[in-house]
Structure 1
Amino acid sequence: MTDQASKFDVEGTNQTGVRERNERLVLSILRREGPLPKAEIARRTGLSAQTASVIMRALESDGLIAKGEKVRGRVGQPSVPMSLAPEGAYFFGLSVGRRSVELILTNFVGQDIAHRRESYAYPLPSDVLDFVKTASDEILQGLEPAQADRISGMGIAIPFFLWDWAVTIGADPEKMDHWKSFDLRNELSKLFQFPIYLGNDASCACGAELVFGAAETPADFLYIYFGHFIGGGVVMNGSLYKGSSGNAGAIGPFPINGKQMVDVASLNGLERRLIEATGSAAEIVEKTENWNLDSKILEDWLAEAVPAVTRMITGAISIIDFPAVLIDGNLPSDLREVLVDRITKELKNENLAGLVAPQIIEGSLGPKARPMGAVSLPLAKRYMLEA
């Protein structure tokens, strides 16, 4: 098995009837590695030169890959690198949060084409549905017909069990209970011709790091996302592990000193402190960079959040030997850097006898992780090799 193919735990195959699988393998490698000449693609996939050539001609004909400029080497014929075609496909990504909702449209390589966002006190099914209708209409009206025809799907990144924390976010429990019987994916399927996919918001954010992220990560790692509620994801063998109910890595309910992680390490705690001190949390609700916060308020939150997260990490590595923990969130990059530094130092105070301390590293997508994670759902389902 080639080194590259092993990352996807599969080689290409020349058997009849598996062309789609081979196409996904080629697209996955180009997405991970960037432009490659045909000969190198054949080598990395394990496909014969003839089969690889047929696959790439088909992908080029479908508009999913494109030829680059010729590259001349020292000897032999110049090579022509093949790369993903940005206009090959488009995807909607819907992120439903506890304080805001976002809808983005990206092209095949993850570049933003359009973006809409709306804040609210708390999410209600009718409000989210109305937002999607209005925002998608605006975005679609701005597209060329050829672009609209290439929309391949919509992904939804949404917290599971939204109703369980109604009181925590200051919502009306009776109104939040509407989510129990509301099928958002089904309702959106009635509005669009393309397929709709749904996933847990934090797991989606983790998936976005695998598909679009710039961070160098090992094959196994724990992902932690600091949002209004803290969440996470689990990556095993280079793939997102969702668990039997799609909720693996849901670190919010993790017990900490009689409370849950969501109570002590979420941005909700920082919001609560800001409201108590100043009467408003608009600084962190409306902005994702350049927060102007009282250092005492921030330090008070960090003093509670960092030890709790560190204790959870210790518990996690005692069950699965994660070599790394990736930290990201809906927060400024400088605060993410502080979290990584503080957690790294706090780990040294933990009793890690019999354990190997993981490397604490920064994620690369920040506030974009959840909407981009929503985008990754239809993209991965239709154009990537699934482990």
Structure 2
Amino acid sequence: MTGRIGGGSSARTSPIYPGYRGANQVGLRASNERLALSLIRIHGQLSKAQIAEITGLTKQTASVIVRALEAEGLLSAGRPVKGKVGQPSIPMSINPEGALFLGLRLGLRHADIALVDFVGGVLEQRRLSYGAGEMGELARIAYAAIAEMRSRLTSAQQARLEDIGIAVASDILAAVASGKGEEGPESAWAEFEELALQMGEETRLRIYLDRDAVAACSAELAYGLAGGAPDFLYIFIGHLLDGGIVQHGRLGFSWRDARPGIGRILVPSATGGVVPLGTSVSVDDVGLAPGSRAPDPELRKWIEASSSSISLAIHSASALAAFRGIVLDGLMPQWVRAELVREIKEKLTAVGASDLASLFVREGTSDRQAAGLGAACIPLLDRFFLQSDTNGSAGSGEA
């Protein structure tokens, strides 16, 4: 039952828009299954006829796909709905029990682990504490927590447990790199690759490893407001600023490719030079924490300076890629994020460029998501939902 849909790695979901069309060739069955699941996830429920109408698939092909997904336990049939003519239509919805995923977010001093169902419901979650950057202790505690969670699953749930997504925060990356006497957090990835390999051997599950921002953006695509836009610039502010462009529902940034990413764009520094945006904006600058409340002069200065730098970076990014808006998120109180969004909107309007002024700028929803959910969304999207090519057509894959 597990590993049912192929189609390659790095797949991401995408909302409906005219570029997404299905294909009737047998060789594209896996792609069409992803397409059907993605559409049903977005709409909540759809009949076979509605899937055929939206995708351009024949009714027969849509029916075959839906029957296969239902037989594999990924879809559930609702009550028939009688129309004016013809046979009643049967609405299909995602089966929450169709697949389970584990998500593990690794921070400097603690990790968050969550067991997530196929519709993003968090079945269980825990916070694990360990010494700052202590990889050996981290691995031991994580193994024990995963084993304990799995021990409580029924045999049916065990069979549906698919993968583990691991999201690595920039603060622990920096700490591990510093402990090795190396500069730059990217140099620490080998440590986490080794951890992922060991965890795969220990758990016998497929492991997905990526940055914290990728996990947060994946959750935003799957269950947040960003699911309504196929092309946007995602910005995540933590120990460092991270993020990049999402096009046709596909993330264009990952730890596997250090080149793309909005954090690499140069912006003016306080000393008159230029610095990468990623290192110039950090929640550490003003000691931000989710529980912070009252504004103060230093925080106001930080909001003003950060919004200016981010706005300049958005302007630079828009010169090379098309996107419809910006989603900003991060490890900060909601009111701070709201202020940043407001300031960025004003600064983009003040530039005088109509294309920038027309961009939507909205807050992300990471504070309303379980911390481990984003990590679990990395394999969830990759394994089961739509992968698009650069032209926006449905991606292909083996049946």
TM-score w.r.t. the length of structure 2 is 0.80
Distance 1:162 1:370 in 2: 16
Query: 5 Å matches for 1:1-387?
Result: 9-13=20-24, 15-119=25-129, 122-159=132-169, 165-166=174-175, 172-174=179-181, 180-182=190-192, 183-215=194-226, 217-242=228-253, 245-247=256-258, 250-256=261-267, 257=269, 258-271=274-287, 284=289, 288=290, 290-293=291-294, 295-350=296-351, 352=352, 356-357=356-357, 358-366=359-367, 368=369, 371-387=372-388
1:83 positional shift: 0.5
1:205 positional shift: 1.8
1:208 positional shift: 2.2
Residue 332 of structure 2 aligns with an amino acid whose one-letter code is L
> Higher mean Cα deviation, 47-56 or 218-227?
47-56
> What is the aligned length?
364
1:363 positional shift: 1.9
SS at match of 1:155: strand
Q: Is the 8 A contact 1:202 1:232 kept in 2?
A: yes
Residues 341-377 of structure 1: CA distance to partner in whole angstroms, max 9, x if unpaired? 1211233444x55863333122233363863332222
Residue 90 of structure 2 aligns with an amino acid whose one-letter code is V
> Higher mean Cα deviation, 354-363 or 47-56?
354-363
Question: Could you say if the C-alpha distance between residues 20 and 359 of structure 1 is closer, same or farther in structure 2, counting changes exceeding 3 Å?
Answer: closer
Q: Is the 8 A contact 2:128 2:142 kept in 1?
A: no
1:244 positional shift: 9.6
Distance 2:16 2:248 in 1: 13
Question: Could you say if the C-alpha distance between residues 94 and 69 of structure 1 is closer, same or farther in structure 2, counting changes exceeding 3 Å?
Answer: same
Question: Could you say if the C-alpha distance between residues 270 and 121 of structure 1 is closer, same or farther in structure 2, counting changes exceeding 3 Å?
Answer: farther
Distance 2:111 2:19 in 1: 33
SS at match of 2:299: helix
TM-score w.r.t. the length of structure 1 is 0.82
Question: Could you say if the C-alpha distance between residues 25 and 354 of structure 1 is closer, same or farther in structure 2, counting changes exceeding 3 Å?
Answer: closer
1:315 positional shift: 1.8
SS at match of 1:114: strand
Residue 333 of structure 2 aligns with an amino acid whose one-letter code is P
Distance 2:109 2:241 in 1: 13
Q: Is the 8 A contact 1:98 1:228 kept in 2?
A: no
Q: Is the 8 A contact 2:233 2:323 kept in 1?
A: yes
CA RMSD of aligned residues (A): 3.1
1:333 positional shift: 2.6
Distance 2:294 2:141 in 1: 30
| Greater RCO (CA < 8 Å, at least 6 residues apart) | 2
Question: Could you say if the C-alpha distance between residues 244 and 354 of structure 1 is closer, same or farther in structure 2, counting changes exceeding 3 Å?
Answer: farther
Residues 276-325 of structure 1: CA distance to partner in whole angstroms, max 9, x if unpaired? xxxxxxxx2xxx3x533453343233233222222222222222243311
Distance 1:174 1:205 in 2: 29
Distance 1:249 1:347 in 2: 22
SS at match of 2:203: coil
1:152 positional shift: 0.7
Residues 10-36 of structure 1: CA distance to partner in whole angstroms, max 9, x if unpaired? 4131x3344333322211211122201
SS at match of 2:383: helix
1:109 positional shift: 0.6
Question: Could you say if the C-alpha distance between residues 240 and 372 of structure 1 is closer, same or farther in structure 2, counting changes exceeding 3 Å?
Answer: same
1:93 positional shift: 1.2
Where structure 2 has 5 or more consecutive residues not aligned to the other structure, the ranges are 1-14, 389-399
Residue 263 of structure 2 aligns with an amino acid whose one-letter code is G
Distance 1:160 1:63 in 2: 37
Q: Which segments of structure 1 move beyond 6 Å, counting only runs of 4 or more?
A: 175-178
SS at match of 2:124: strand
> Higher mean Cα deviation, 199-208 or 117-126?
117-126
Residue 221 of structure 1 aligns with an amino acid whose one-letter code is F
Residues 93-117 of structure 1: CA distance to partner in whole angstroms, max 9, x if unpaired? 1222345321111001111011122
Residue 210 of structure 2 aligns with an amino acid whose one-letter code is G
What percent identity do the matched residue pairs reach?
34
Question: Could you say if the C-alpha distance between residues 86 and 113 of structure 1 is closer, same or farther in structure 2, counting changes exceeding 3 Å?
Answer: same
Question: Could you say if the C-alpha distance between residues 18 and 304 of structure 1 is closer, same or farther in structure 2, counting changes exceeding 3 Å?
Answer: closer
SS at match of 1:311: helix
1:121 positional shift: 6.5
